[in-house]
Amino acid sequence: MNNQDKSIAYAFIANGVQIYLNEGDYFLISKLICSNCGDSWYMNLTECFLCGTINPFLFRCEDCGSFQSITKSSGKCNNCGSSKLYMMCPNPDCISNKDEEVKKEANELGGCFNKNSGLLIAQQYCLTCGSQYHRYKNYKILVRTIDSPNVVISKLDLPENVSDELYLILRLKEDDKIKYHICKVSELTKDFEIKNFMNSFKDVVNYFYPLLNTKRQDI
């Protein structure tokens, strides 16, 4: 992978997109998204099995009810000094908080969100729209650097027999700023002039992974 490909690949990674290298001239980008709205789906995000509340990654003191970070905990409550700190569900209406027997059993295993409790599961619903359906969205990416908005196809050294999934990202450095343009390789038939550039890489990511429908569904 050359330097121009690396810079684009790293930029995708920084924006939550996975990349996969290929023996050819392109690389693959992939992202797990909500099938309904297109927003990110997080495999490392966990929910309470009992009520669906998102894991806040906090300890809760059983004695005084205060929360504190699990990464900065000294093993004792910062508020009252108690050592009864558990990764409890923050939802007061969760059965793990309202039913004393369930609460006791969960806390004996470190709390609802402790990995040993059996009460946490991977993300089940989209955080944006509430849909429970998700999928991977993939593209093949070629990268070329140009020195002018006037693009000559023959100078791009494009592969033959391209698929509909192959996209070309053109980079133009102008006044110490990098601008981008995206086009489908299969649709490039003649030289052209780029009139509309993307001024940030975030725009590139949003081109491939736009938010489609953000109206929240009932869960």
Render 13-66 in DSSP notation, one character per residue. Answer: HHTT-EEEE-SSS-EEEEEEEETTT--B--TT-EEETTT-PBP--EEEETTT--
| Percent of the chain clearing pLDDT 70 (strictly above) | 97
Instruction: Encode burial over 181-201: b for 16+ CB neighbours within 10 A, e otherwise.
Output: beeebeeeeeeeebeebbeeb
The predicted pLDDT at position 138 comes to: 95
Strands, E, within 71-175: which ranges?
85-86, 120-122, 134-146, 150-151, 166-174
The predicted pLDDT at position 213 comes to: 61
Nearest to 219 by CA among 51, 45, 32: 51
Listed range (37-46, 71-80, 170-179) with the worst mean pLDDT: 71-80
- Which helix (H) or strand (E) segment holds residue 205: the answer is helix 201-208
Q: What DSSP state is assigned to residue 77? A: -
pLDDT at residue 123 greater than cutoff 70: yes
CA 142 – CA 151 distance, rounded (Å): 15
pTM for this model (two decimals): 0.73
The predicted pLDDT at position 95 comes to: 94
Q: Tell me the pLDDT tens digit for each residue of 91-105.
A: 999 999 999 999 999
- Please enumerate in sequence order all residues whose Cβ is within 8 A of that of 76, keeping only pairs 6 or more positions apart, or say none: 82, 83, 85
Q: Tell me the pLDDT tens digit for each residue of 60-88.
A: 999 999 999 888 777 889 889 899 999 99
pLDDT at residue 23 greater than cutoff 50: yes
The predicted pLDDT at position 96 comes to: 93
Structural domains of the chain sorted by starting position, each given as residue range(s) with its CATH number in brackets: 3-40+138-208 (3.40.1350), 50-122 (no CATH)
CA 60 – CA 90 distance, rounded (Å): 8
| Percent of the chain clearing pLDDT 90 (strictly above) | 62
CA 101 – CA 21 distance, rounded (Å): 51
